[in-house]
Amino acid sequence: MVRPPSGYASCVPYARALSGIALSGDARTWWTAASGLYHRDSVPAPGSVLVFPAHGRMRGGHLSVVTRVVGPREIRVAHANWASGRNKGRIATDQAVVDVSARNDWTRVRVWYPPTASLGITVWPTYGFIHPSQMTTEAEIAARMPAVAASL
């Protein structure tokens, strides 16, 4: 996990800078805001943003950027501010996300939780993936990560 120079990173500006998707507002509003502007679906791809609605204590929702598709039910993501406690506000990369939905549609996932070094026990609802206007490769996303982290 990386602490950005500012000392704190939020998921929204991190996802916007890393993916190139030019949306703003709380993470929970991105799915609706993307309608008609960006392609949305249930298929992960490098550079796409996985959108989490408000859920439990996560009132603002959450955004994760897909860095790699491992298989039909597993991806790796980069995101900011997923952990709590002393890890709050940090950037985490190469974090596993596993689809646990009954229909393999990415509407329910488990997310790697760095403090426990395992997939968390919580099953999180998601809206799906917002795709950037231009296709992105794993290498392009990996190359952007250091610069984005340094800019926050």
Write down all domains in the chain, each with its CATH number in brackets. Answer: 11-151 (3.90.1720.10)
Q: What is the DSSP string of 15-68?
A: HHHHH-----S-GGGHHHHHTTTSEEES---TT-EEEEPPBTTBTT-EEEEEEE
| CA atoms of 26 and 43, how far apart (whole Å) | 22
Q: What is the mean pLDDT of residues 57-84?
A: 94
Binned at pLDDT 50, 70 and 90, residue 71 comes out as very high
pLDDT at 88 over 90: no
Binned at pLDDT 50, 70 and 90, residue 120 comes out as confident
Q: What is the mean pLDDT of residues 128-149?
A: 93
| CA atoms of 89 and 71, how far apart (whole Å) | 29
User: Cα–Cα–Cα angle for 25, 1, 151, nearest 5°?
Assistant: 50
